[in-house]
Structure 1
Amino acid sequence: MTFFDQVFRDVEQFVKVEDAEEEICELYSVYYSNSGSERQSLVDSSKTEVEVEIKGGLRTIELTIGQNPNINSEKGQTGAVLWNSSIVLSEYLARRTLSGWNLAEANVVELGSGCGLVGIAMHRLGARRVVLTDQARLMKLLSRNAERNRIARQAGNSGKRKAGRCPTVGTLLATEYDWGRAPEDPRILEAAPVDVVVVSDCVYHETVVPLLVRTLQTVCGSRRDVPVVALVGQELRSDVVHQVFIEALLKSFVLYRVPVHPSVDRSYALYAMWLR
């Protein structure tokens, strides 16, 4: 069963999004009615290294993630530290592996990986191949995080594995990808057919929207035999920016909002989509 088939099988649990204004009204009427103090930070963005536990799957996944707060303080840079949505999306995926989603045959591309948490979590959840991508200046940080959290290839099955590690060892790599054009590195799209694209908290300003949507179109349009699923997690911040993003997506994607949990849905939105 393809990854699309697994997701589509659960589509009745999702909320189909057909009008951007209605979607924003529904999301932000709840968001603005809540006190901002209700949303707690799930990570410490001031540290250069954090220990992260992804819970909800068969085992807790323990990761050591490096950050660079200095880069993140520069104008226009947001990807050098962890954001809450990456935790939310990773734990949702961990839970879904217990309820029917099998990542063993999935080839994954993460866009705007930043520190790489979601893609690394999918690697540890058993994905066959994960390609982490971001801008050139984040490659050192991203590659180091991939290396330190990659499942070690072992001869035989002797010895204990760390919590969250799967018996099947997939591929995990990091490479540069500038949004808005076809990727230069053939490992992103040409080495293996993409099954799923993941994006977490990459839309902070409306100027980013056209580039991200164009890139999603490129990656999701890279194969014709089955639809490529994109999973996008977004923390609720600006209703204006969020509406611009949804309007752009609806022009070319079938779009569903995926309910996670009432406590989560007040502050975050998770979407599943594929090209029309």
Structure 2
Amino acid sequence: MTAQTLRTVLGPPIEVAGEETFCLFSQEIPSNNLGFVDPKASTLELDIAGRGFSIRQSTGLLNSSREEGTTGAVLWKITPLLATWMASAPSLLAHVLHHDAVVVELGCGVAGLLGLVLSRKVQCYVLTDLDYVMKHLRENLAANAVAPRMDTKVTKKKTNQKNPARDNLKTLPLDWERDSARNLETVLPEGRAIDLVVLCDCVYNEYLVSPLVQTCVDLCRLRSVTGKETVVLIAQQLRSDVVFEVFLESLMKEFDVWRVPDPDVSKDLGLGSGYAVHVAVLRDLAGTAT
């Protein structure tokens, strides 16, 4: 997907961050509280795209006083909504969400739900978050892994082969403030650029806006080649208009940005839902693609 494709489908990109902020926050926004699904539950049972998931949360981490924050310790309400929409194969994402696609998620949290849902649809899905999240994340991935089919007629050699559904779901600690985006090269398929970067409810702290946007820039430039642009998808709960506008202004300095309109997104994520979905393409690479 190129910037030109997005212009054709969605029209001109957003021009003024303040106007976009006013448009979103002037809508009647339902109360979603802080946005947790259930911060007191140790386990959540979910059904998405016809598949059941059992997600273990870490209420202990949530209530701890870690300096790096604890927001990744539980599942947020927007995540199942985004997973359901993306799993429905929306036409807008057809060029970046397919069986050959490489997807990187920032701030995935302990659940790893988007990766669990979408990894079966792509070549490689990389879940990233702070190091303290990794142990709980990997436990959830293991608990929800799809066991390979056993066929009594399959030879022993074939049954010992690795399960592709597990192999294409990878994890990597990534601190936006300290780590280099080049660390992703250790887990990405050789010679492949990133098709899609996903941010799900990562915009909540003004202090983190600058390193988050810079990480997105660096990921889009990673292995960038002529004719290949990385799309960034940002889905978030609308909490603070101030933080949102700061983020959007920072993002628009580097990216062309579009809001995904109601006809192209599920009703659970459209105007008035309390959530918003945007897509962005790095501006200094836009125009090099054909």
* Interval of TM-score (by shorter of Structure 1 and Structure 2): 0.7 to 0.9
Query: What is the aligned partner in structure 2 of residue 116 from structure 1?
Result: 112
Q: 1:12 aligns with which of 9, 19, 42?
A: 9
Computed over aligned residues only, the root mean square deviation of the Cα atoms, in angstroms, reads: 3.1
Query: What is the aligned partner in structure 1 of residue 213 from structure 2?
Result: 213
Query: What is the aligned partner in structure 2 of residue 94 from structure 1?
Result: 87
Note the alpha carbon deviations across 1:16-73, whole angstroms, 9 max, x for none: 322110001000000xx34537x89683232121111224xxxx23222121121112
CA contact (8 A) 1:232 1:271 kept: yes
In the alignment, is residue 204 of structure 1 matched against residue 201 of structure 2? Answer: no
Query: What is the aligned partner in structure 1 of residue 237 from structure 2?
Result: 235
Give the Å deviation of 1:92: 1.4
In the alignment, is residue 44 of structure 1 matched against residue 46 of structure 2? Answer: no
Query: What is the aligned partner in structure 2 of residue 186 from structure 1?
Result: 185
Query: What is the aligned partner in structure 1 of residue 132 from structure 2?
Result: 137
Structure 1, unaligned runs of 5 or more: 159-166
Note the alpha carbon deviations across 1:173-194, whole angstroms, 9 max, x for none: 2121111341435334574421
What secondary structure is seen at the aligned counterpart in 1 of 2:88?
helix
Give the Å deviation of 1:202: 1.1
Structure 2, unaligned runs of 5 or more: 154-162, 284-290
Moved more, 39-48 or 71-80: 39-48
Query: What is the aligned partner in structure 2 of residue 222 from structure 1?
Result: 222
Structure 1 pair 148/240, CA: closer, same or farther in 2 (3 Å)? same
Count of equivalent residues: 258
Structure 1 pair 106/235, CA: closer, same or farther in 2 (3 Å)? same
What secondary structure is seen at the aligned counterpart in 2 of 1:17?
coil
- Taking only the aligned residue pairs, the percentage that are identical comes to 32
Note the alpha carbon deviations across 1:117-155, whole angstroms, 9 max, x for none: 11221113x111111111111110111122222333446
* Inter-partner Cα distance in structure 1 for 2:176 and 2:203: 13
Q: Which has the larger radius of gyration?
A: 2
Give the Å deviation of 1:168: 7.0
Structure 1 pair 103/14, CA: closer, same or farther in 2 (3 Å)? farther
CA contact (8 A) 1:146 1:174 kept: no
Note the alpha carbon deviations across 1:233-267, whole angstroms, 9 max, x for none: 10000000000010000000111111324553220
- Quick one: which amino acid aligns to residue 82 of structure 1? L
CA contact (8 A) 2:257 2:279 kept: yes
What secondary structure is seen at the aligned counterpart in 2 of 1:231?
strand
TM (norm. structure 2) is 0.78
What secondary structure is seen at the aligned counterpart in 2 of 1:209?
helix
Structure 1 pair 61/122, CA: closer, same or farther in 2 (3 Å)? same
Moved more, 185-194 or 202-211: 185-194
Structure 1 pair 153/261, CA: closer, same or farther in 2 (3 Å)? closer
CA contact (8 A) 2:170 2:187 kept: no
TM (norm. structure 1) is 0.82
Query: What is the aligned partner in structure 2 of residue 161 from structure 1?
Result: none
CA contact (8 A) 2:206 2:243 kept: yes
* Inter-partner Cα distance in structure 2 for 1:123 and 1:7: 27
Query: What is the aligned partner in structure 2 of residue 173 from structure 1?
Result: 170
Structure 1 pair 224/250, CA: closer, same or farther in 2 (3 Å)? same
